[in-house]
Chain A
Amino acid sequence: MNPQTLIQRYLLGDLTDAEVAELNCLLKGNTELRREFAISAAVDAGLRERSFEPVVDPVSSIEVTRAKMSPRFVVVGTSVAAIVVVMLFLGPAFLTAGLFDVAPVATLVSSENAAWESSLPTIPESKLAPGLMKLVSGIATVRFASGAEVVLEAPADLELVSRMRARLAGGAAVVTVPESAIGFVLEMPNGFVADHGTHFAVNVPGGGKPSGIDVIKGEISVHQSLTGEKVRLTEQQSASISKLKLTVFEGQFADQVMEERPRVVRVGTGGRSTSVIRNNKRRRCHPDLLMVKRGHSEGWDRRSIFSFEVTGVDLEAAKSVRLRLNQVPSGIGFAARLPTINRFAVYGLTNEAKRDWEIESLWEDAPGPADGILLGTFEIPRSVQRGSFGIENAKLLRFLRTHNSGLATLILVRETGQIEGEVPGLTHTFASDSNPEASGPILEFAFD
């Protein structure tokens, strides 16, 4: 067997004892072969990653286009292939021009401390095809092929539609439109802005709240989808688009909408939080992280427990309460080995015998779901490893009012496991109070 084949079969775990000894001997005296071994290990790692990627659709007409795409575009190409198959079933009328148009419509100009969740390339100077860009943190500038430039501020969701059109589903953006891009359209919930050569700023808070538009320089027209209303705005004017109406203001939008916010009281855990692991190897539980996992190999299952001192809160007067957990990337295991959507459950501790749980608790001693009542669930897509999650419902408030002698303990578990295979699925991690990156669990009480 030649040395290269020996290396490959060693990496496959397919060599006899004698063959391993032979390879050992060859590697010992040959620096070049050792380098080949190291490169082969990197190729092995690359092959393994490729095996986790979505299966390439065998539609032959797509193959030609795909061959010219970068790997990230393959995902887009595969989606397009899937759409084509569906459209073919629906009939030829659906085969509209432009369906295959995955030519770049914009360029990512700069990325300042930006973190992305995007199917599109996120390296500055990358060419961007139509698709979604989710900016998790930082600031990024996207220049459309028409010349229009959008500076995005996180968190923001921008969909690139064409060289003359984009859709801002959430977040803030400042848009500059040169002469070459007059007529550039930025859509947002409940309306859109058409630009007549200018500089304008948009803030889309989402959650049903009105979007605000400020003209910095020049002129724009703002359209409301439901009523069909349309206004032209010039410098020093602003507008808001809500579900039902379009309102114009003199001056900046931010000055107009000093909305009345409910009074909020926030309570943290004061460091009283921990994670437990089924095999009780506690060194695998980091104090800065609240770790949750349910996998095939039960020994690595983890759950988290945390308590809130709520004696200082007027629970009867509270109108609502929200448990906020900040997810941070774990780097442990593969998200690709999880179902697309992962469900988490929050339980409230009712078993008095477990009330005095300890930070260094063993799995069997720490409070678990059987020691409490289910208060609510939330879901996180496997593609997301950062963000704020939690529950907000009457059951949580009722639990705090009734099962509370000053200290309320909650238990967090992941209900969904991992998909088939031996490769470990991702361990989800949330910040604890000592996490340097994000704040630990918080209860947010709202009062009138």
Chain B
Amino acid sequence: MRLFVKHEPALRAFARSILPDWNSVEDALQEASVTMWEKLGQLKDEDGFLPWAKVILRFKCLSSIATLRRSRHVLSDEVLELIADEAEAIDAGEIASVRRALNICLSKFPSPHQELLLAPYVGDGRVKQLAGRDRKSVNALYKLLGRLRAKLAICVRGQIASEMS
């Protein structure tokens, strides 16, 4: 469980690359953690934990996609498998780099944009509240959010590249 807690951020990011929303990510993590506990004996050493845990989590995520597909638009199984391959190769060090870069990049945005970038996670209707406050439509705010996130992603990539150079 100590190892799970240690690698939880990397596992959560991995599951997010496959699953379309955070509720399903949390469900998959819960189920995977129980399986990991049961199969801990298979693990040869602590260094092998993250790749081993990702295999279990990948299975849990992909097996829950069929159900999710009924209620929302989801990428094809083939593409999700390909994305999972990419995400599986991202190690804990890279996740830490992403977090560092995110902190730097986020601070470059003005406060209202930072608030909007964090709004989708705060709880029900936060984006709607901001839309009401700023007298904009929710749809317009989501479009802006998409653009801001794209800008943030470009900044993060640049920051990671400069860290590595």
Chain A residues within 8 Å of B, Cβ to Cβ: 1-2, 4-5, 7-17, 20, 23-24, 27-28, 31, 34-52, 58, 67, 71, 115, 283-284, 286, 288, 328-333, 385, 420-424, 437
Contact = CB atoms under 8 A, between A and B. Distances in A.
Contacts of B111: 58
B59 interface: no
Contacts of B43: none
A4 B37 contact: no
B83 A38 contact: yes
Contacts of B79: 24, 27-28, 34
B106 A50 contact: yes
Contacts of A71: 103
B118 A38 contact: no
Given A27-B79, A28-B79, A332 B30 contact: yes
Interface residues of B, number: 65
Contact of B102 (A46, A286, A328): A46
A23 B75 contact: yes
B interface: dominant SS: helix
A8 B150 contact: yes
Interface in B1-41: 1-2, 4-5, 8-9, 12-14, 16-17, 20-23, 26, 29-31, 33-34, 37-38
A12 B72 CA distance: 12
Contact of A39 (B22, B121, B157): B157
Nearest to B119: A51
B98 A37 contact: no
Contacts of B117: 47
A331 B98 contact: no
A8 B86 contact: no
Contacts of A1: 146
B152 interface: yes
Given A28-B76, A288-B37, 10 more contacts: A8-B150, A12-B142, A24-B75, A35-B86, A51-B118, A51-B122, A329-B5, A330-B1, A331-B4, A421-B123
Interface string B103-131: 10011000100000111111110000000
A328 B2 CA distance: 9
Contacts of B74: 20
B87 A13 contact: no
Contacts of A45: 9, 12-13, 16
Closest 8 CB pairs of A and B: A41-B17, A8-B149, A51-B121, A42-B13, A38-B87, A20-B73, A45-B13, A4-B150
A49 B20 contact: no
Contacts of B147: 5, 8
Nearest to B123: A421
A331 B31 CA distance: 11
B157 to A, nearest CB: 7
Contacts of A4: 150, 153-154
Given A20-B75, A41-B13, A41-B17, A422 B150 contact: no
B90 interface: yes
B65 interface: no
A interface: dominant SS: helix
B20 A13 contact: yes
Contacts of B153: 4, 7-8, 36, 39-40, 43
B57 interface: no
Interface in B35-82: 37-38, 72-76, 78-79, 82
A43 to B, nearest CB: 6
A425 B122 CA distance: 14
Given A27-B83, A28-B82, A328 B1 contact: yes
A37 B86 contact: yes
A7 B75 CA distance: 11
B136 interface: no
A39 B90 contact: yes
A419 to B, nearest CB: 9
Most chain A beta-carbon contacts within 10 A, residue among B37, B121, B124: B121
Most chain A beta-carbon contacts within 10 A, residue among B5, B102, B145: B102
Contacts of A12: 120, 142, 145-146, 149
Contacts of B83: 27, 34, 37-38
20 contacts: A7-B150, A10-B20, A10-B75, A11-B20, A17-B73, A24-B76, A28-B76, A28-B79, A34-B86, A37-B83, A41-B16, A42-B95, A50-B103, A51-B121, A283-B34, A284-B30, A286-B38, A328-B1, A332-B29, A423-B121
Contact of B90 (A23, A42, A424): A42
B102 to A, nearest CB: 4
B18 to A, nearest CB: 8
